[in-house]
Amino acid sequence: MSSYPHPIIAREGWPFLAATAAAAIAVHALAGFGWASPLWLVTLFMVQFFRDPARVVPQEADAVLSPADGRIVAVERTQDPYLDRDALRISVFMNVFNVHSNRIPVDCEILDVWYFPGKFLNAALSKASLENERSALWLRTAGGADVTCVQVAGLIARRILCYAEKGQTFRRGERFGFIRFGSRVDVYLPLTAVPRVSVGDKVYATETVLAVLS
């Protein structure tokens, strides 16, 4: 759900952080820092991976916000396979050093939710959008625009978490899911949308405007 608390570390990371920290403390106590140092490094990695900072929501009307931190790997006209329409697809690739909490790109109602099992190809590849494991949301804005937001698993990511359910309403910038350890998020927009980003741009969840609906 979008309302659960995120006190610095996303709730999805607490079990991983607790396990690695406990192991590091135990080895440190029994064998010293030298033997425990690799485990402390893993603990630090868990802290940076599962960090979940607060974000400021832009107030620009009809803005489509980035659902994820990362790098733009596609801005192209293509077929939206979920709503069977021509669409503008903007894809964000997340590496293991990005924040992996996913956020809703527009004020909307969730009209449907789909899950598809699949492969675990490199998420930077275009074919990953249709071949990898993924979870898709059909979003409809108050103005009647349809937006499809798709979480795509990657080569390392093996766990997609989506908390949104059909019939729920969300405000843009609210958290709806998480993908563990590197992945991709695709956003399919009406062809009338005006993109604000280009391939190669770095983007930040909620704070970066991907496009403007028109």
Architecture of domain 63-212: Distorted Sandwich (2.70)
Q: Where are the domains of the chain?
A: 11-49, 63-212
**Beta carbons within 10 angstroms of residue 5's beta carbon:** 7
Judge whether 91 counts as a catalytic residue: no
Find the catalytic residue in 2, 37, 183, 198: 183
Cα separation, 101 vs 52, in Å, equals 7
How do the pLDDT tens digits run along the chain, 214 residues long?
444 455 678 887 788 889 999 999 999 999 999 999 999 999 998 887 788 888 889 989 899 999 999 999 999 999 999 999 999 999 999 888 888 889 999 999 999 999 988 665 555 556 656 667 889 999 999 999 999 999 998 665 557 889 999 999 999 999 999 887 668 899 999 999 999 999 999 999 999 999 999 8
Cα separation, 125 vs 121, in Å, equals 8
